[in-house]
Structure 1
Amino acid sequence: MNVLEGTYSVCRLPPSDRVPSWALELHEGFMSITRTPDELSIVCGQDAVPPDVTVEDGWKAMVVPGPIPFSETGVLARLATPLAAAGISIFAISTYDTDYILVKEGDLERALETLRSTGRRLIASGSPYEPVIGFSRAVREGDRVLVSGTGPVMPDGGCPESTYEQALRAWEIVAKALNEAGATVDDVVRTRTYLTPDADPDGAQKAHGEVFGEVRPASTMLVVHSLLDPRWTVEVEAEAQTRR
């Protein structure tokens, strides 16, 4: 969503009134005129409205980057539903190209944050395998963040020796992905740890406790036949539920 400059007013005039000259003279910026059998409604910059007009002031306008094809369905619903759940009132206007959502000025930042946390966000780590295999390091869908299976890969491609060090490195990568998705390790509600037969379970448990000792997520540890990289003795994944 892009936020338009300025503050807007929603004006109500009698349905039989002519469109006033002060509205007709607004040749730049965002302005909307709608006539129904019951009213003449004008949305325009707040500074343009005369003092004798029935008006609701103090709106900020957000616009969906367009054009939106007429065949696209549910665009406005995907915006209005999370805002309604957050208790944010809206005034919506649709045009040929796109949709505009107006919210009260005091609700703007909360509305933007609500919309940022809505819908699917893909978090990449830069791994060359992500586009080849077709996966993301993490996916955020609404207030839920899922982090893919994560191995103990160092920035130079190396791998720590012990299971404990490998687990710490893997959780470090997970924490970075969570942060990029707008979450933290404190939001984690489930973890899974995969260990090879040669792994040191105590080391993996120690690392998990250092990262999640205060969080106490639901957790599963499994012994598997092997992992993708023969140097790895541990791989981890996490699921978080944000509280923002």
Structure 2
Amino acid sequence: MKLKVINEAFSVCKIEDINKVNFEDSFCFVGKTDEELSLVCATKFAPSETIEREDGWRGFRIEGVLDFSLIGILSKLSTILAEEQIGIFAISTFNTDYLLTKEENFEKALKALEARGYEVVR
């Protein structure tokens, strides 16, 4: 399985106003529940006004389109990283999954996944 590195620094934000989101950003993930409005975006496009914000994330995606019948892909990746004491922030889209780790753990995460047979495309 191929994992594609995204050459971008990310921020994870809790926001009040969806109108502050820059949808021109190539990677922009918005999640809304009855409790919050969350945004994951390139740090350079993060709104200046947030309720909470955490910078310093890096990410990669699983290459290709994943069929909904596939089971355990995200679980296997997260288990490998958990064994290395690396926390993740996972995002799923219709096509695939994205994993973010803190910048200081990113290279360690990629090396751990490569050691377990994943191909990392930079």
Both proteins in one fold, TM over 0.5: yes
SS at match of 2:18: coil
Say which structure, 1 or 2, has more relative contact order (CA 8 Å, 6+ apart). 2
Say if 2:52 is the partner of 1:52. Answer: no
For residues 48 and 24 of structure 2, what CA distance do their matches in structure 1 show?
21
1:1-244 matched pairs, under 5 angstroms: 1-13=3-15, 17-21=16-20, 23=21, 25-53=22-50, 54-119=52-117
For residues 105 and 9 of structure 1, what CA distance do their matches in structure 2 show?
11
1:106, distance to aligned residue in structure 2 (A): 1.1
The one-letter amino acid of 1:31's match is C
1:163-222, CA deviations, whole angstroms, 9 ceiling, x for partnerless residues? xxxxxxxxxxxxxxxxxxxxxxxxxxxxxxxxxxxxxxxxxxxxxxxxxxxxxxxxxxxx
1:107-139, CA deviations, whole angstroms, 9 ceiling, x for partnerless residues? 111000010112489xxxxxxxxxxxxxxxxxx
User: TM-score, with normalisation over the residues of structure 2?
Assistant: 0.87
The one-letter amino acid of 2:60's match is M
The one-letter amino acid of 2:38's match is S
More strand by proportion, 1 or 2?
2
| RMSD between superposed Cα atoms in Å | 1.7
1:61, distance to aligned residue in structure 2 (A): 1.2
Runs of 5+ in structure 1 lacking a partner? 122-244
1:27, distance to aligned residue in structure 2 (A): 2.0
Who wins on radius of gyration, i.e. which is larger?
Answer: 1
- Between the aligned residues of both structures, percent identity stands at 37
Runs of 5+ in structure 2 lacking a partner? none
User: TM-score, with normalisation over the residues of structure 1?
Assistant: 0.45
The one-letter amino acid of 1:3's match is V
